[in-house]
Amino acid sequence: MGIDPALLEHRLDELYAIGAEPDGGAYRPLYGPAWATAVERVERWLKDAGLKPRRDAVGNLWGRAEGTDKGKSIVTGSHIDTVRHGGRLDGALGIVAGLTAVEALLKDKGKPRRPLEVVAICEEEGSRFATTFWGSRAITGAIDSVDGEIAAAMRERGLDPTKIASAAREDIDTFVELHIEQGAVLESSGTPLAVVSAIVGTAHLELCVTGRPDHAGTTPMDLRLDALAGAAAMVHAVESIAKSLGRPAVATVGKLSVEPDQINVVPGTVVFTVDLRHPDLAGRRALEERIRSLCGTISEERRLGLAIRSLQDKPPVAMHPDVRALLARAAKECGVQATELVSGAGHDAQILAARCKVGMLFVPSVGGRSHCPEEHTDPSHLELGVRVLVRALELLAY
């Protein structure tokens, strides 16, 4: 079936130009002017592809082709918002690929059996307001009320925040999304495509280590209660535990601050965070338990105080087994043995899983880079991803 790789790249370029920042990347925060321009652009493309566009109460944009049968829809797409200095592909690829795939199917195969839809989800990144998965949460009916600041931003775009519940849908059968990996697993293993098996659960911990601030010159090493030396041992422990458990476990100390943070004072207090992810809930709990235990031992050995606070605890979400099997079959029929991969990042599919069957395809990210202007995927991999998506949607909707 014919898809036009040049048109795919051209549409990605067009979207990337909307919200372009002077110092690199694009920024399309929810309900902002660049966001609105991007939604209009996609709406025009949907019309051109023969789809009927519709905006729901939260600002998601849908393009629908009716099926010969009634019943629930097959949906593909992704989110249209970006982080600051966002790249060309995160979100944008899923929308442009979905549009290109459905366009090709309608042209070659005519009217589908089941309703077939492309969606541009209004927000996933949480890069404007303290909210993530805003669009997909509205689709699942999970948003009851809208905060004042967000409500004002909605009204600026002609959206009525009191009607947000009407964005909920009960009539989606399956949601499939093509996305970039945002990591370097596929690239480093030379694999061009992956079927996502699960989206990891994420736990965020905050550890506060307390020692005693002392004069760096007058306090012998053996009389110190150095909070930073203790925290360094804990940072090392976090890394070692995750490494020893092996893939797919990851643990990251991303934030760390020192008090009093003076060149000639032994640190008295250190606060740092740990981001823990594992696709299997038992695996993640084991990871957390080992980290809590070893950090506790380190603090006791060094006679330091340690307080651990849980900031977040999201369970992992498995992709639907039927959709995983179908995506693997579609890949095979396109001549590719797709690997299975766990997504370390969050995606709308993990929210939509509460209401419909979900599945995702990943294509490689060069250098594993994402959320930055360097975000890039080889054009041949993009084309492959779209071809597999076309075949998957054909299997689902025709």
Dist. CA 248–CA 281, nearest whole Å: 12
Q: How far is the CB of 342 from a second copy (least distance, A)?
A: 10
Question: Binding to a second copy by residue 346, rule CB under 8 A?
Answer: yes
Question: Binding to a second copy by residue 209, rule CB under 8 A?
Answer: no
Q: How far is the CB of 222 from a second copy (least distance, A)?
A: 7
Residue 38's nearest CA partner among 95, 76, 85, 87 is 95
Considering beta carbons, is residue 49 or 207 the nearer one to a second copy?
Answer: 207
The three-class DSSP label of residue 341 is strand
- Residue 272 — φ and ψ, nearest 5°? -140, 160
Question: Binding to a second copy by residue 252, rule CB under 8 A?
Answer: yes
Q: How far is the CB of 31 from a second copy (least distance, A)?
A: 23
* Among 28-36, 240-248, 328-336, 348-356, the segment contacting a second copy (CB under 8 A): 240-248
Q: How far is the CB of 33 from a second copy (least distance, A)?
A: 25
Question: Binding to a second copy by residue 210, rule CB under 8 A?
Answer: no
Q: Is the dihedral of CA 188, 193, 199, 204 positive or negative?
A: positive
Confirm if 128 and 32 have CB atoms less than 8 A apart: yes
Number of residues that bind a second copy (CB under 8 A): 65
Q: How far is the CB of 249 from a second copy (least distance, A)?
A: 8
Of residues 85 through 104, those in contact with a second copy by CB under 8 A are none
Dist. CA 345–CA 45, nearest whole Å: 29
Q: Which residues of 290-323 are buried (b: 16+ CB within 10 A; e: fewer)?
A: bbeebbeebbeebebebebeeeeeeebbbbbeeb
Question: Which token pair is 64?
Answer: 């629908």
Question: Binding to a second copy by residue 188, rule CB under 8 A?
Answer: yes
Give the x-and-dash track for 298-337 against a second copy (CB under 8 A).
-------------x--------------------------
| Residues 6+ away with beta carbon under 8 Å from 162 | 146
Q: How far is the CB of 380 from a second copy (least distance, A)?
A: 21
Whole-number Cα distances in Å, 209 to 95, 290, 379:
45, 17, 48
Q: Is the dihedral of CA 91, 92, 97, 103 positive or negative?
A: positive
Question: Binding to a second copy by residue 258, rule CB under 8 A?
Answer: yes
Q: Which of 60, 343, 350, 377 binds a second copy (CB under 8 A)?
A: 343
Question: Binding to a second copy by residue 261, rule CB under 8 A?
Answer: yes
Site of interaction with a second copy (CB under 8 A)? 181-185, 188, 200, 202, 204, 213-223, 226, 228-229, 231-233, 235-236, 239, 242-243, 246-258, 261-267, 273, 275, 277, 311, 343-346, 365, 368-372
